[in-house]
Structure formats: C-alpha cells, structure tokens
Structure 1
Amino acid sequence: MDGQGRALRTRRALIQAAAEVFAEEGFVHASLRAISERAGVSSGALHFHFAHKGALAEAVEAEATEVVRSIIRAARSRPGGILQTVVDATHALMHHLAQDAVACGGFELAGDISRRTNSPLRREWQHWIEESLREAERSGALAQGVCAADAARVIVAATTGFQVLGSADARWLSAQSVTRLWELLLPRLAAEHCLDRLLCAGSGPWTAPPRRAPAPTDRPA
C-alpha cells in the first residue's frame, strides 16, 4: 500500500475509534490516548491527522452527516411517495444508529451540550424532514388540516428522542419501535387516498450506505 493509502486507512481508523469512544464516554471524558489505542496507531499519527480532540469530533460528525445524506438518497430511490420516503428514512436511520458506530457517535456528539456547537448533523436531518413534509403538503399527501411544519416538528422530536433513549436501551432503535410510531402517526398525518399504500414497517431491508472517503493528507502516517 502506498503512503497515501496508509494515511487514508489511518485516518479512517481514527475516526471509527473516536466515534466509538465518544459514544461510550462523551466528548468531555473521551481521551486522545484511548482513541489512539483503540485505533491501533501512535499518538504522533493521531496528531498528524487531527490537531486536537475537537477536530476529531468534527470529523466524526461530518462522516455521520454523510451517512444521513446516503440514507436520504437511498430512501428517495425506493418506490412510493414522499411520505413513504420519510417512513423508510426513519427506519434506516434508527437501524444505522444501532449498527454503525460512526452514525451513533456523530449523533451523540451532536447532542453533547459541552461542545457548544450548532450541529450540522441534526440540522441536516431536521431540514430534510421539514422539506419533505412541505413537499407532501404541496402534493396533497397530508390529511386535511395537518400543518406540514407541525408534522415535521413531531417527527424530528420523535426520532431525536429515539436516538437519545436508544443510547442507553437499544430497544428504542428497533424496527418495532419505529413501526409503532408510524402506526400512530400516519392515520392522522396522511391523506385518506394515500393511507392504504403506506407501509408503517417501511420497505426495507436497510443496508449500510457507502460513505465518502476522507480527504487525503499530504504525507503518509
């Protein structure tokens, strides 16, 4: 493997290890030593790629944001209208939060008040849900009297709550939990002519979306 390939592999190992440690210990208590040891690299290699812990956290959150974008792209490629797309995306997100350390670590960082940052990850998810519900409203897919903005707030709050609770109890991230949510929401949310075509359990299965490779560095680590 050439120097650039080794550098990319080292960077990815550090991001993966950092996501795991951040998810387990939180940003404040996570140590760079624990991250470098878990990644199997030296402290010097870690500092070559990331100047400080905050830079590592930003890299984890950026990769988790790409996971969310990939989930959205995959959901949009499935058959069905925009409401089914939202249902599918919520199922896929919870699946990846349960299975993917980078997604899990990214969302844990996004909700960590000690970092005092405006999370691009949560913002990306919220913006897409809001846009999708507005699209559903324009297309007549929402039930009469349902406000797209109100519906979006409920969905964002519910999925964020599942993520927070799921960090301590994985049952919150289960397909059954997400299905029950939609069984409650869709009869109130969807227009009658759409309702019988919507699958509360989603149209899975949910496979891991490809993530964009991290940016190359100037020298091998």
Structure 2
Amino acid sequence: MGLQQERAIRTRLLTPKSAAEVFDREDYASARLSDISARANMSTGALHFHFANKEDLAQAVVSEARGILWRAARLAYEKNSEPLQALTDISHTLSQLLSWDVVSRAGLRLDNDRSRKGREQFIHAWHACVQRLLDRARQEGGVAAQVQLPALTCAIVAATTGIGVLIKGGEGDRTRLAFTGFWQGFLPGLAAPSLLGGLNPGGTPDVVDHAVAASRYLPYAPEEEVDAEAATTG
C-alpha cells in the first residue's frame, strides 16, 4: 500500500470521530463543516474530498456508531441465555458505551435529530431486538400472562431510547442508576412471578463488564485498522 493510500484510509477513519466530537457538542443544524475540518486537522477542501457534505458525514458517524453498539449488544446477548435478563444486560451495555464513546453517543443523537433526513436506523433495529427477546421470553414462559407484548415493546423502546439520547460523556454511574431504576420499575409488571426474583435490574455485572470492555477495542483505533487493511491487501 502506498503512502497516499494509507493516508486516505487514515483520514477516512479519523474524520467521522472528529465529526462525532463536533456533533456531540452541537446539534446537527448548528454543526459546521469548518469546525469538523479543524477538529480533524485538515482543510475544508480535503474534507470534501472524502465526504460530499454534512449529511454524508452524519451518515458515516451513524453507520460507525451502529456497528459499535450492535457488536456490543451481540456480546452481551451471547453471554446470557435468559431473554429478559439478556434484554436488561444489553440495555446496560449500550448505555455504558454511550457514556464513554463519543461516536456511539453522537450517532444515536444524529439518528434521532428531526432536522435530518434518513433517520431512525437505531430505533428500528432496537425495536426488532426488543421484540425478538420478548417473544422468546413469552415462548419460554417468562412473561406475565396479562402482558400485551406490542405495547410493552413500544414502551421499552421509547423509554430506553429517550434515556440514551440524554446521556452525556463521563456519566457512566448516573446512567447505570437510571437504567437500573427503569428496570426496577418495569420488570415486576413484565416478568412472570416465578422468574422475577432471579432477574437483576442492575444488569449482570460480569456480562455487562465483559461486553463493555471488549467493545473498547471496537471503536476508533485508526493505527490498528490501517495496519489490518495493509495486512489484508498488501
């Protein structure tokens, strides 16, 4: 791989993170390409070489964030066979990622920003995830008989997404408390009485810690990704 191609790859990797840092500080409408290019230490012209406009950059941030969050969700899911506990653990895992990873946080906010087109990639995927886990819980007898799953699915998606959009950087402890409080109030009306006592609304510590720790290697590490690209193409 030539030096110019390597620089192009590095720029393509670094720029969405720089954009995320600006989008995290400003809303989509207020963020300026000049601020993003300055954050990425490049000219606005160089920025336009890789991204056509602000929406193109926003889409790159959302796409990267979605990959980070759903890889983390998969890690949490694979560590827990009980669907309601898995759902609780996934929500805690994603909330912790939103607290410490600026790309994830900015991506979620951009996806819910009403001034943008092409939104709601996250909420549709999260809705499908919640629905599948609740369906499985009902099949396994883990859901209380009176529960109407479509209504509960919408309520869980709305509440957890709303909390997620409000998360700021470095608020891991407060975020954990918020989601623990949500599940403390929600699980008693959702879970079958025989299962409720075995569920942990604070998340399974080993599962959440594993998923969050492993996910720290998934977001931006440009030098590692460039090396990996070189190894596979060189």
Superposed CA offset, 1:135-166 (max 9, x none): 21222111111122122111111112212333
1:21-170 map, 5 Å = 21-167=22-168, 170=171
CA distance in 2, matches of 1:161, 1:184: 16
Superposed CA offset, 1:67-86 (max 9, x none): 22112211111134111111
Aligned twin of 2:213: 207
- What TM-score comes out, normalization by structure 1 length? 0.88
CA distance in 1, matches of 2:141, 2:60: 39
Cα displacement (A) at 1:208: 5.2
Q: Which has the higher contact order (CA 8 A, sep 6+)?
A: 1
CA RMSD for the aligned pairs? 2.4
CA shift in 2, pair 1:27/1:3, >3 Å: same
Contact 2:65-2:107 within 8 A present in 1 as well: yes
Stretch of structure 1 that moved more, 204-213 or 125-134 = 204-213
Stretch of structure 1 that moved more, 101-110 or 199-208 = 199-208
What SS is found at the alignment partner of 1:115?
Answer: coil
What SS is found at the alignment partner of 2:142?
Answer: coil
Contact 1:134-1:149 within 8 A present in 2 as well: no
Size of the aligned set, in residue pairs, is 215
Contact 2:16-2:57 within 8 A present in 1 as well: yes
Cα displacement (A) at 1:167: 4.5
Superposed CA offset, 1:95-126 (max 9, x none): 11111111111111111111133321222112
Cα displacement (A) at 1:198: 1.4
CA distance in 1, matches of 2:22, 2:38: 11
CA distance in 2, matches of 1:95, 1:5: 32
Cα displacement (A) at 1:184: 1.0
Superposed CA offset, 1:22-50 (max 9, x none): 12111111111100111122223211110
For 2:33, give the aligned amino acid.
L
Cα displacement (A) at 1:6: 2.1
Stretch of structure 1 that moved more, 70-79 or 25-34 = 70-79
CA shift in 2, pair 1:64/1:87, >3 Å: same
For 2:196, give the aligned amino acid.
L
For 2:182, give the aligned amino acid.
L
Residue segments in structure 2 that go unaligned for 5+ positions in a row: 230-234
Contact 1:90-1:159 within 8 A present in 2 as well: yes
State, as a whole percentage, how many aligned pairs show the same letter.
35
CA distance in 1, matches of 2:76, 2:107: 20
Stretch of structure 1 that moved more, 145-154 or 164-173 = 164-173
Stretch of structure 1 that moved more, 172-181 or 107-116 = 172-181
For 2:59, give the aligned amino acid.
E
Contact 1:96-1:208 within 8 A present in 2 as well: no
